[in-house]
Amino acid sequence: MGVLVVGSINADLTVTAPHIPAPGETVLGRELRVGPGGKGANQAVAAARAGARVSLVGAVGQDSFQADALRLLHAGGVNLSGVQVRPEATGVALITVSAGGENAITVASGANAALTPGDLPANLGPWTHLLLQQELPPDITLAAAQRAHAAGLHVTLNAAPSREKAPALLACTTHLVVNEHELAALAGEDKDVAEAARTLLTAGPRAVTVTLGAQGSLTVTDDGETHRLAAFPVTALDTTGAGDTFCGVVVARLAQGEALRPALHWAGVAAALTCTRPGAQAAMPDWAEVQQAGAGA
């Protein structure tokens, strides 16, 4: 069963520093790492490593960052026939990682911002699951969700980065995945996590998952179930890509017939393992490692 990812493709420029700079502050960091990134590409790699057949729709530029951005997608066997090479620059993310593993990210979208609904595949028949994020222009994200919903695909939306609430997009979403900040932006800051997640069920999703970092995750469903999963214990080195790993793995496991709760379990294990290594795609574990680590958890 195939997964279609419509999302961004970037090159990540990462520097580790003692702390994330405050406004106006200059911090001396260590060496610069250049690697593949972009939320769409990250989630595609994570899903492929979790055993799914994955295709990606996106765009890169005709520049020196193109090879870096596509390297691990090629290596992971992701179908890139839907990736365009455009005259705009390849998207670039500037990432600062603190000594404690937290990160701050600024993205120059480049070719990603040039994608339109006309770039989507005309036939969604080869896929059962669509995975979306919010780094692409809102019109292509909405069009992808609407077409997939109409075709009966399972639509997972990772509402990151935060954008203005889009009721039409939520109405086409099967599974909404957010962190606490994104949850507050969509449901308001005056509710606790479970209450806010249940509020969003009324907007259309059949399930809402809130990733909570070291506190694990919380999922509520429209049939009244609540899944609270503890975080898999690790010592975090770099949290970049952890959320994308979670999304890619949960969709991959659902696409392969896994039930929701075990899919969430494996996604949490994989996301935690990603935090133990530097980088995004390069840090993502393969399925054998996830199984070995999480079998007794």
Q: Which pLDDT score is estimated for 191?
A: 82
Half-sphere exposure of 200 (CA within 13 A, CB side): 35
Residues 6+ apart with CB under 8 A from 160: 39, 133, 134, 178, 179, 182, 243
Of the pLDDT bands very low, low, confident and very high (cuts 50, 70, 90), residue 102 is confident
Tell me the percentage of the chain whose pLDDT exceeds 70: 99
pLDDT at residue 93 tops 70: yes
Would you give the end-to-end CA distance of the chain in angstroms? 27
Mean pLDDT of 134-147: 98
Average pLDDT, the chain: 95
> How far is it, in rounded angstroms, from Cα 163 to Cα 33?
29
Q: Note the pLDDT of residue 296.
A: 67
Q: What DSSP letter does each residue of 119-161 carry, written as one string?
A: GS-S--TT-SEEEE-SSS-HHHHHHHHHHHHHTT-EEEEE--S
What mean pLDDT is predicted for residues 141-160? 98
201 has pLDDT over 80 = yes
Burial of 225 (0-12, 13-18, 19+ CB in 10 A): exposed
Q: Is the pLDDT of residue 151 over 70?
A: yes
Residues labelled as active-site residues: 244
For residues 245 and 47, what is the distance between their CA atoms, to the nearest angstrom?
Answer: 8
pLDDT-derived band at 237, boundaries 50, 70, 90? confident
Return d(Cα 90, Cα 109) in angstroms, integer.
8
Q: Does residue 297 register a pLDDT over 70?
A: no
Give dist(CA 227, CA 221) in Å, integer.
9
pLDDT of amino acid 188: 86
Helix (H) or strand (E) holding 245: helix 242-255
What's the pLDDT at 140?
Answer: 98
Reported as a single tens digit per residue, the pLDDT across 25-54 is 999 999 898 999 999 999 999 999 999 999
The arithmetic mean of pLDDT across residues 8-19, rounded, is 94
pLDDT at 236: 87
Q: Are 14 and 240 in contact (CB under 8 A)?
A: yes
Work out the pLDDT band at 103, boundaries 50, 70, 90: confident
Mind listing the pLDDT tens digit for each residue in 58-71? 999 999 999 999 99
pLDDT greater than 70 at residue 210: yes
Report whether pLDDT(78) > 70: yes
